[in-house]
A and B are shown apart, each in its own frame.
Chain A
Amino acid sequence: MWYIWDLSILLSVVSLVIMLFLIARRMLQERRGRAAADQRRQLLTALIAFTENRDREALKVRLLGVPAGIAIDAGFEFISLLRGEERDDVLVAFNECGLPARVGRQLQKGNVADRIHAAEMLAALGSEDASASLLSALAQDRSREVRIAAAIALCDLGSLPLLGTALDFIGVAGQRSRRLIELFRRFPRSRFNELAVHASRADASPFVRAAAIDALARAGGFGFADFFAGLAGDAAPEVVAAALRALGLTGHAQAPAILKRAMENDDWEVRAAAAESAGRLGFPELAAPLSRLMDDEVWTVRYAAANALRSFGQSGERLLREIAASEVSRSQRTASLILAEGPAL
C-alpha cells in the first residue's frame, strides 16, 4: 500500500512544479506578447501609409524591422483587404523582402495550422517558386488537410496537376472532405473536362463525383447537359441526385422524362432531387408525377414535391388547392401545409 501513497506524493509534486514553470513561462509570454502587438500595430500603420504614399523603401524598412512571423501574418491579413494595383504594389514589396521564401519554409516546417495558412499565403503572394513549394506539399505533406489546402492554392495559381494525380496525392481519407467542393468550384473553365472525366468514373467515391457534378453545373452551364443526363442513370444514388440537381440548373430536352423516371427511384434523396429540379424547370407535364410524389412516405420528398408544384405558378397553386380540398390523405395534408406557409392571416 505504501507505493500508492509514495507515487501520489511524487506525481502531485511533479505536477505542481510543472505548473509553476508554466506560470513563469506565461509571465514571460505576456511581456513578449505586448511587444509583438506593438510591432504588429506599427507594421499595419506602415502598410496603410504605403497605400497612400507608395513609398516602397519605407515599407521595406518596416517589414524587415519586425520578426518574420509578424510581417507574414499582418501582411497577409492586410493584402486580403486589397485589390488591383494597390495589392500588386504591396506584393512586390513583400517579394523584395523575401517573405514568400519564409512562407515556403513555414509550409515545410510549421505545425498543421501553420502549414495550411502558409499554403493560402503562398497562393495570395503568387511568387515564382510558390508552385514548386505547393506541389511538394501536395505530394509529401503528412496531413491531408494541408494537402487539400495545397491543392486549392495550386488551383488558384493555375498549377494544379492532373485532377486524378491531385486526388491520389490527397488520399482516400481526404476525399471525404467538403473542402474538395471548394477545390472543384475553383477549377478553371479550360479544365472542366477533367472534372467531367472524374465525375463519370464508376470507381471514384460517390461524394467526390457528386462534388464534381455540382461544380460543373454551377459554372459549366448547358454545355454539360448531355453529360448530366447520362449520369442520371448512374448506379450510385448520390451521383444520380447530383446529376438531377445539375439538370435542374442547366435544363435538357429529355429532362421531363428523366425526372419522371427518377421520381420513382428507390432512394428518397434521388426522388427529392428530382422534385426539386422539376420545380426549377417548371415543365407542366411533371405536375402529375409531382402530385403523386406528395404521397411519398418521406417528408422531405413530399415537401420538395409540393414546393415544386407551388413554383409552377398559378397552375401549380390550383392543383395544390384541389389536392388540399380532397379527402384526408398524406398528399392532402402536405398540400394544406404548403399552401398555409407564410404569415398567418
Chain B
Amino acid sequence: MIAGWSHEIVLAATILSWFIIGTGLAQTTIYLLQLVVAGYALSKRPPVARSALLWQRYSDVAPPIALLVPAYNEALNVVESVHSMLALEYPNFEVVVINDGSKDDTLQRLIEAFKLVKFHRPYEEALAHKPIRGLYSSPMTERLFVVDKENGGKADAQNAGINVCRAPLFCVIDGDSILEPDALMRAAQPFIDDPERTIAVGGTIRIANGSKIEAGRVREIHLPRRLLPLFQVVEYLRAFLMARLAWSSINTLMLVSGAFGMFRRAEVVAVGGFTKGSMGEDLDLVIKLHRHMRDMKREYRIQFIPEPVCWTEAPETLSVLARQRSRWQRGALECFFRYRSMLFNPRYGRVGFLGFGHILVVDVLGPVAEVLGYILIPAFWLLGILSAEYLLAFTALIFTYGVCVSVCSLILEEAELQRFPRARDLAVLTAAAVIENFGYRQLNNFWRVKGWWQFLRGNQGWGEMTRTGLSGTKK
C-alpha cells in the first residue's frame, strides 16, 4: 500500500471492499449451494415418462384445469396461441382468455376466428377487478371462454379469470407463450400424487427465439442466432434448473413464474389473488401463499418441476431487455419491502430465513454491491489504497465463479435432462456461458441498479414490451 493515505481512508476503503466482496461471496456461496442441492434433487428425480404413458396413467384421475390467458394488445398472436392451447393434451380443461381492454383488435380477431357469441356465465365475485364488459363462448368448442374487461393490468386480468373459471386448479400463461402439448399433464402430476398438500407448481420457461414454430407449436428446437437471446438461454437455465429446483426441493420456492404456473384456486382466492399494480405479481402471490399457509399452520407444497415446458420470446434488443430487467428488479424490491416482516422471522421458518435471505442477498444487496465494486475496487487498487488481493478476489467473484456457476447449470441440464437436441448446441451454449460473464452480466447489473433507482423514485410503469411474435419461423 502507498504510504500517505490516512488511516481513516484506508479503513473506510477496506470496510467498503469487505462489504462488496462479502456480498459477492455470500451470493456465490448461495449459488454453489443451490447447484449442489439442485444436482442432488435432479439425480433423485426419475427420468420422465413419455407423454403417451402419462396420458394412460393419469388421464382418468387428472383434475379439471382452467388455463387463464391475459391478453393485452396481442392481436398479432392471439388466435394462433389460442388454437395451440385448445389442442393441448389434457382430458379436462378450459381456456379462459381475458382481453384486458386491448387497444388493438385482439377481441375482434378472437370473435372472428372462433365465432364468439356473448354468453352469460354465473361466477363468484371472490376477487376485485375492473368491470367485465362481456363474456363470450364459442359454438366451435366448449373449452373456450373469452372475458372482455376494462384495462386494469395483468394481475387484474388474472383475478377476473380466477373469478370466472370453475376448475379447482388454474394455470396462468402469457398470451404470447407456447405450452408444449403435454405441459398441463406434467404440471398436474404433483396435484395428482399429493393433492392435499400441493398448492402451486411451476414449470420451466424456455426461450423460443431461433426455434422453428409452426401452427402454435415448436417444431424444431434451435438456439437463438443473436447473442442477446442466447445469453438469456443460459440465464434461464441458471434461474430454473439451479435456483428453482434447489429451493423447490426444500419447499422454499419463492417464485412460480407468471408465464407458466399452476395454482389451486381456493388458496389463491383465500390470499386475495394477484396483487393489483404489482411489478412482480407472480413473486408476490407465492410469498402470500407461503405466509397464508404458515399462518394457518397447514402442511403444503409449492413445487417446481423441470419437465413441463412453456416457450416464450426473449427480448432481442438492449432497450427492451433493459426495461424488462429494471421492472423485474423493482418487482423483487417491492415484494421484499412489502413482506419485510417475514425476513428472518422464525414464524416463517425456512421461507423467512432462506427464501427471504436469498432475496436480500441476491436481489436487494447484490446488484448495488456489484456495481459499486466495478467502480471502487479497481479505483482503490489503482490509487494504492488496497492490495491486489482484493482486486483478484473481486475479479474471481465477478468472472470466474460466474463462469463456473453458468457452466455447472449447463452440466445439470445435460446430465439429467438433455433437452438441447444437438451436441453443437451444447458447445455454443458452453461458449455463451463463459462469454456472458464478460459484459452481459455487468450490463444486467447496471439495469438492476437502474431498477433500484426507479423503485426509490416510485416509478410504477411497466414500459412497452415490444414483441415481434412467435408465429414466424426461425429468427
- What is A's interface to B at a CB cutoff of 8 Å? 1-2, 4-5, 7-9, 11-12, 15-16, 18-20, 22-23, 26-27, 30, 77, 80, 111-114, 116-117, 120, 145, 149, 176-179, 181-182, 185, 207, 299-300, 303, 306, 334, 337-338, 340-344
Instruction: Tell which of A11, A18, A112, A338 touches B122, judged by Cβ atoms closer than 8 Å.
Output: A338
Q: Name B266's closest neighbour in chain A (CB-CB).
A: A300
A343 to B60, CA, bound (A): 31
Mask for B123-151, Cβ within 8 A of A = 1, else 0? 01010000000100100000000000000
Mask for B46-76, Cβ within 8 A of A = 1, else 0? 1111001100111011010000000000000
9 CB contacts below 8 A, A to B, read A5-B393, A16-B407, A114-B47, A178-B61, A334-B122, A341-B121, A342-B119, A343-B137, A344-B117
- Give the chain B neighbours of A116 by CB distance below 8 A: 46, 49, 57
A5 to B422, CA, bound (A): 34
Instruction: Tell which of A113, A176, A300 touches B195, judged by Cβ atoms closer than 8 Å.
Output: A176
- Give the chain A neighbours of B375 by CB distance below 8 A: none
A284 to B195, CA, bound (A): 36
Asked if B25 and A4 sit within 8 Å, CB to CB, the answer is yes
- Give the chain B neighbours of A337 by CB distance below 8 A: 120, 122
What 3 A-B pairs have minimum CB-CB distances, sorted nearest first? A112-B46, A299-B124, A337-B122
Asked if A12 and B430 sit within 8 Å, CB to CB, the answer is no
Mask for B378-405, Cβ within 8 A of A = 1, else 0? 0000000000011011011100110110
Instruction: Tell which of B49, B197, B392, B430 touches A16, judged by Cβ atoms closer than 8 Å.
Output: B430
- Give the chain A neighbours of B390 by CB distance below 8 A: 1
Closest Cβ–Cβ distance, residue B339 to chain A (whole Å): 29
A342 to B124, CA, bound (A): 16
Asked if A26 and B61 sit within 8 Å, CB to CB, the answer is no
Closest Cβ–Cβ distance, residue B259 to chain A (whole Å): 27
A55 to B100, CA, bound (A): 63
Instruction: Tell which of A19, A149, A176, A341 touches B196, judged by Cβ atoms closer than 8 Å.
Output: A176
User: Within 8 Å of chain A (Cβ to Cβ): is B426?
Assistant: yes
Closest Cβ–Cβ distance, residue B221 to chain A (whole Å): 14
Asked if B53 and A117 sit within 8 Å, CB to CB, the answer is yes
Q: Name B408's closest neighbour in chain A (CB-CB).
A: A15
A93 to B195, CA, bound (A): 41
Known A27-B423, A145-B193; contact A22-B411, beta-carbon cutoff 8 A: yes
Known A19-B430, A26-B423, A300-B124; contact A176-B403, beta-carbon cutoff 8 A: no
- Give the chain B neighbours of A182 by CB distance below 8 A: 60-61
User: Within 8 Å of chain A (Cβ to Cβ): is B427?
Assistant: yes
- Give the chain B neighbours of A338 by CB distance below 8 A: 122
- Give the chain B neighbours of A117 by CB distance below 8 A: 49, 53
User: Within 8 Å of chain A (Cβ to Cβ): is B194?
Assistant: yes
A26 to B423, CA, bound (A): 6
A147 to B368, CA, bound (A): 51
Closest Cβ–Cβ distance, residue B226 to chain A (whole Å): 22
Instruction: Tell which of B48, B53, B122, B126 touches A341, judged by Cβ atoms closer than 8 Å.
Output: B122
Asked if B392 and A2 sit within 8 Å, CB to CB, the answer is yes
- Give the chain B neighbours of A176 by CB distance below 8 A: 193-197
A7 to B197, CA, bound (A): 41
- Give the chain A neighbours of B63 by CB distance below 8 A: 178
User: Within 8 Å of chain A (Cβ to Cβ): is B218?
Assistant: no
Asked if A77 and B52 sit within 8 Å, CB to CB, the answer is yes
- Give the chain A neighbours of B137 by CB distance below 8 A: 343
A149 to B192, CA, bound (A): 14
Q: Max chain B CB contacts within 10 Å: which of A11, A16, A306?
A: A11
Asked if A343 and B118 sit within 8 Å, CB to CB, the answer is yes
Closest Cβ–Cβ distance, residue B195 to chain A (whole Å): 5
Asked if A8 and B389 sit within 8 Å, CB to CB, the answer is no
Closest Cβ–Cβ distance, residue A330 to chain B (whole Å): 12
Asked if B119 and A5 sit within 8 Å, CB to CB, the answer is no
A334 to B400, CA, bound (A): 64
Asked if B56 and A30 sit within 8 Å, CB to CB, the answer is no
Asked if A207 and B47 sit within 8 Å, CB to CB, the answer is no
Q: Name B59's closest neighbour in chain A (CB-CB).
A: A182
Asked if A179 and B193 sit within 8 Å, CB to CB, the answer is yes
User: Within 8 Å of chain A (Cβ to Cβ): is B11?
Assistant: no
Instruction: Tell which of A1, A27, A80, A179 touches B61, judged by Cβ atoms closer than 8 Å.
Output: A179
- Give the chain A neighbours of B49 by CB distance below 8 A: 113, 116-117
A114 to B46, CA, bound (A): 8
Q: Name B418's closest neighbour in chain A (CB-CB).
A: A26
A113 to B119, CA, bound (A): 45
- Give the chain A neighbours of B25 by CB distance below 8 A: 4
Q: Name B388's closest neighbour in chain A (CB-CB).
A: A1
Q: Name A299's closest neighbour in chain B (CB-CB).
A: B124
A113 to B186, CA, bound (A): 14
Asked if A26 and B393 sit within 8 Å, CB to CB, the answer is no
Asked if B426 and A22 sit within 8 Å, CB to CB, the answer is yes
Known A112-B46, A303-B122, A334-B122; contact A15-B403, beta-carbon cutoff 8 A: yes
Mask for B98-124, Cβ within 8 A of A = 1, else 0? 000000000000000000011111101
Asked if B426 and A4 sit within 8 Å, CB to CB, the answer is no
Known A15-B411, A343-B118; contact A178-B192, beta-carbon cutoff 8 A: yes
Asked if B119 and A343 sit within 8 Å, CB to CB, the answer is yes
Known A27-B423, A176-B194; contact A342-B120, beta-carbon cutoff 8 A: yes
Asked if A4 and B122 sit within 8 Å, CB to CB, the answer is no
- Give the chain A neighbours of B408 by CB distance below 8 A: 15
Q: Name A27's closest neighbour in chain B (CB-CB).
A: B423
Instruction: Tell which of B52, B193, B423 touches A177, judged by Cβ atoms closer than 8 Å.
Output: B193
User: Within 8 Å of chain A (Cβ to Cβ): is B33?
Assistant: no
Asked if A5 and B53 sit within 8 Å, CB to CB, the answer is no
User: Within 8 Å of chain A (Cβ to Cβ): is B414?
Assistant: yes
User: Within 8 Å of chain A (Cβ to Cβ): is B410?
Assistant: yes
A30 to B423, CA, bound (A): 8
Closest Cβ–Cβ distance, residue B119 to chain A (whole Å): 6
Instruction: Tell which of A12, A19, A80, A303 touches B401, judged by Cβ atoms closer than 8 Å.
Output: A12
Closest Cβ–Cβ distance, residue B431 to chain A (whole Å): 10
A12 to B396, CA, bound (A): 10
User: Within 8 Å of chain A (Cβ to Cβ): is B415?
Assistant: yes
Asked if B396 and A4 sit within 8 Å, CB to CB, the answer is yes
Asked if B126 and A299 sit within 8 Å, CB to CB, the answer is yes
A116 to B415, CA, bound (A): 22
- Give the chain A neighbours of B120 by CB distance below 8 A: 337, 340-344
